[in-house]
Amino acid sequence: MYPFIRYATTIAHAALKAKRGDTLTFKDTSEIQFRCRLSDIDNFLEMNNGRVFTLYDLGRMDFAVRTGLGKQLLKQRWGLVIAGSTIQYRKRIRAFQKVTLKTKIVGIDARWLYIEQSMWVKGQPCSSALLRTGVTKGGRVIDTAQVLAALGQSEWDLPPTGYVAEWIESDADRPWPPTE
Protein backbone atom coordinates (compact mmCIF):
# COMPACT_ATOMS: atom_id res chain seq x y z
CA MET A 1 0.00 0.00 0.00
CA TYR A 2 1.26 3.47 -0.84
CA PRO A 3 2.23 5.48 2.28
CA PHE A 4 -0.24 8.35 1.74
CA ILE A 5 -0.06 9.59 5.33
CA ARG A 6 3.75 9.70 5.24
CA TYR A 7 3.57 11.46 1.88
CA ALA A 8 1.16 14.13 3.15
CA THR A 9 3.22 14.58 6.32
CA THR A 10 6.40 15.02 4.28
CA ILE A 11 4.77 17.70 2.12
CA ALA A 12 3.43 19.48 5.21
CA HIS A 13 6.86 19.45 6.90
CA ALA A 14 8.54 20.69 3.71
CA ALA A 15 5.99 23.50 3.35
CA LEU A 16 6.54 24.51 6.97
CA LYS A 17 10.32 24.53 6.46
CA ALA A 18 9.94 26.64 3.32
CA LYS A 19 7.65 29.07 5.13
CA ARG A 20 10.26 29.42 7.89
CA GLY A 21 12.91 30.24 5.27
CA ASP A 22 14.55 26.80 5.11
CA THR A 23 14.44 26.75 1.32
CA LEU A 24 16.69 25.11 -1.26
CA THR A 25 17.96 25.94 -4.73
CA PHE A 26 18.52 23.37 -7.44
CA LYS A 27 22.19 23.36 -6.34
CA ASP A 28 21.36 22.11 -2.83
CA THR A 29 20.81 18.68 -1.33
CA SER A 30 17.58 17.88 0.48
CA GLU A 31 17.77 15.67 3.56
CA ILE A 32 14.87 14.11 5.41
CA GLN A 33 14.83 11.50 8.14
CA PHE A 34 12.41 8.74 9.01
CA ARG A 35 12.36 5.32 10.65
CA CYS A 36 11.97 2.06 8.83
CA ARG A 37 8.54 0.82 9.84
CA LEU A 38 7.19 -2.71 10.08
CA SER A 39 5.07 -1.91 7.02
CA ASP A 40 8.32 -1.26 5.08
CA ILE A 41 9.95 -4.65 5.64
CA ASP A 42 9.76 -7.92 3.75
CA ASN A 43 10.00 -11.55 4.85
CA PHE A 44 13.78 -11.12 5.34
CA LEU A 45 13.09 -8.44 7.99
CA GLU A 46 14.69 -5.67 5.93
CA MET A 47 13.27 -2.78 3.92
CA ASN A 48 11.63 -4.14 0.80
CA ASN A 49 13.36 -3.05 -2.43
CA GLY A 50 10.06 -1.78 -3.86
CA ARG A 51 9.43 0.25 -0.72
CA VAL A 52 12.85 1.89 -1.12
CA PHE A 53 11.73 3.25 -4.50
CA THR A 54 8.42 4.37 -3.02
CA LEU A 55 10.10 6.18 -0.14
CA TYR A 56 12.39 7.98 -2.58
CA ASP A 57 9.17 9.78 -3.64
CA LEU A 58 9.21 11.46 -0.23
CA GLY A 59 12.65 12.93 -0.84
CA ARG A 60 11.68 14.27 -4.24
CA MET A 61 8.59 15.92 -2.77
CA ASP A 62 10.61 17.59 -0.01
CA PHE A 63 13.06 18.83 -2.66
CA ALA A 64 10.26 20.10 -4.94
CA VAL A 65 8.43 21.97 -2.19
CA ARG A 66 11.54 23.56 -0.68
CA THR A 67 12.98 24.69 -4.06
CA GLY A 68 9.71 26.36 -5.07
CA LEU A 69 9.09 23.83 -7.84
CA GLY A 70 5.99 22.65 -6.00
CA LYS A 71 4.44 26.12 -6.19
CA GLN A 72 5.25 26.34 -9.90
CA LEU A 73 3.71 22.91 -10.49
CA LEU A 74 0.44 24.20 -9.07
CA LYS A 75 0.64 27.66 -10.65
CA GLN A 76 1.59 26.45 -14.14
CA ARG A 77 -0.51 23.25 -13.95
CA TRP A 78 2.62 21.21 -14.50
CA GLY A 79 3.18 17.58 -13.60
CA LEU A 80 6.19 15.42 -12.82
CA VAL A 81 7.29 12.25 -14.55
CA ILE A 82 9.97 9.63 -14.01
CA ALA A 83 11.26 8.47 -17.39
CA GLY A 84 14.00 6.12 -16.25
CA SER A 85 15.86 4.91 -13.19
CA THR A 86 18.65 2.71 -11.97
CA ILE A 87 19.34 1.71 -8.39
CA GLN A 88 22.08 0.08 -6.35
CA TYR A 89 21.45 -1.71 -3.06
CA ARG A 90 24.49 -2.20 -0.84
CA LYS A 91 23.39 -2.41 2.81
CA ARG A 92 20.24 -3.67 4.47
CA ILE A 93 17.89 -1.34 6.27
CA ARG A 94 16.27 -3.10 9.21
CA ALA A 95 13.03 -2.34 11.03
CA PHE A 96 13.12 0.73 13.26
CA GLN A 97 16.47 1.99 11.96
CA LYS A 98 16.69 5.74 11.46
CA VAL A 99 17.18 6.54 7.77
CA THR A 100 18.50 9.74 6.21
CA LEU A 101 17.29 10.23 2.64
CA LYS A 102 19.29 12.63 0.45
CA THR A 103 18.09 14.12 -2.85
CA LYS A 104 20.07 16.27 -5.27
CA ILE A 105 20.19 17.19 -8.93
CA VAL A 106 23.29 15.78 -10.65
CA GLY A 107 22.61 16.86 -14.22
CA ILE A 108 20.31 18.84 -16.46
CA ASP A 109 19.94 18.70 -20.21
CA ALA A 110 17.43 20.35 -22.54
CA ARG A 111 14.64 18.00 -21.52
CA TRP A 112 15.48 16.14 -18.32
CA LEU A 113 16.54 16.68 -14.72
CA TYR A 114 18.78 13.88 -13.45
CA ILE A 115 18.29 13.28 -9.74
CA GLU A 116 20.43 11.20 -7.43
CA GLN A 117 18.88 9.90 -4.23
CA SER A 118 20.44 7.86 -1.47
CA MET A 119 19.48 6.30 1.85
CA TRP A 120 21.90 6.28 4.76
CA VAL A 121 21.87 4.53 8.15
CA LYS A 122 24.38 5.51 10.86
CA GLY A 123 26.41 7.45 8.29
CA GLN A 124 26.67 4.49 5.92
CA PRO A 125 25.13 4.46 2.42
CA CYS A 126 22.53 1.72 1.94
CA SER A 127 21.14 2.41 -1.53
CA SER A 128 21.49 4.95 -4.31
CA ALA A 129 19.19 5.69 -7.24
CA LEU A 130 19.68 7.77 -10.37
CA LEU A 131 16.48 9.01 -11.99
CA ARG A 132 15.65 10.75 -15.25
CA THR A 133 12.80 13.10 -14.39
CA GLY A 134 10.84 15.68 -16.29
CA VAL A 135 8.26 18.38 -15.83
CA THR A 136 5.16 17.97 -17.97
CA LYS A 137 2.40 20.18 -19.30
CA GLY A 138 -0.54 18.64 -21.12
CA GLY A 139 1.09 15.23 -21.03
CA ARG A 140 4.32 16.39 -22.72
CA VAL A 141 7.71 17.01 -21.18
CA ILE A 142 8.60 20.71 -21.31
CA ASP A 143 12.09 22.16 -21.76
CA THR A 144 14.13 22.45 -18.60
CA ALA A 145 14.97 26.05 -19.58
CA GLN A 146 11.30 26.91 -19.00
CA VAL A 147 11.38 25.25 -15.57
CA LEU A 148 14.59 27.01 -14.54
CA ALA A 149 13.22 30.37 -15.74
CA ALA A 150 10.05 29.92 -13.67
CA LEU A 151 12.25 29.31 -10.61
CA GLY A 152 14.49 32.31 -11.31
CA GLN A 153 17.47 30.02 -11.93
CA SER A 154 17.86 30.45 -15.72
CA GLU A 155 21.60 30.95 -15.45
CA TRP A 156 22.15 27.58 -13.83
CA ASP A 157 23.91 25.02 -16.00
CA LEU A 158 24.72 21.45 -14.96
CA PRO A 159 25.39 19.24 -17.97
CA PRO A 160 25.41 15.51 -17.18
CA THR A 161 28.97 14.19 -16.76
CA GLY A 162 30.69 11.06 -15.52
CA TYR A 163 28.46 8.17 -14.52
CA VAL A 164 25.32 10.20 -15.30
CA ALA A 165 26.41 10.79 -18.92
CA GLU A 166 27.48 7.14 -19.21
CA TRP A 167 24.07 5.98 -17.96
CA ILE A 168 22.28 8.27 -20.44
CA GLU A 169 24.38 6.86 -23.30
CA SER A 170 23.93 3.27 -22.17
CA ASP A 171 20.19 3.69 -21.68
CA ALA A 172 19.87 5.10 -25.21
CA ASP A 173 21.11 1.73 -26.52
CA ARG A 174 18.38 -0.16 -24.69
CA PRO A 175 15.67 -1.33 -27.11
CA TRP A 176 12.19 0.11 -26.83
CA PRO A 177 9.66 -1.36 -26.95
CA PRO A 178 11.04 -4.45 -25.27
CA THR A 179 11.01 -7.66 -27.21
CA GLU A 180 9.09 -10.60 -25.84
How confident is the model at residue 156, as a pLDDT? Answer: 87
* Residue 68 maps to a domain: yes
Query: To 5 degrees, how large is the angle CA 141–CA 78–CA 69?
Result: 105
* Residue 180 maps to a domain: no
Domain total in the chain: 1
We report the CATH number of the domain holding residue 119 as: 3.10.129.10
* Residue 77 maps to a domain: yes
How confident is the model at residue 111, as a pLDDT? Answer: 96
How confident is the model at residue 1, as a pLDDT? Answer: 80
* Residue 127 maps to a domain: yes
* Residue 179 maps to a domain: no
Give tens-digit pLDDT for 117-160. 999 999 999 999 999 999 999 999 999 999 999 999 998 899 99
Among the listed residues 171, 175, 89, the one whose alpha carbon sits nearest the alpha carbon of residue 132: 171
Backbone CA torsion sign across 119, 121, 125, 126: negative
How confident is the model at residue 8, as a pLDDT? Answer: 94
* Residue 178 maps to a domain: no
Question: Domain residues for 66?
Answer: 4-173
Strands (E), 23-112: 30-35, 79-89, 98-108
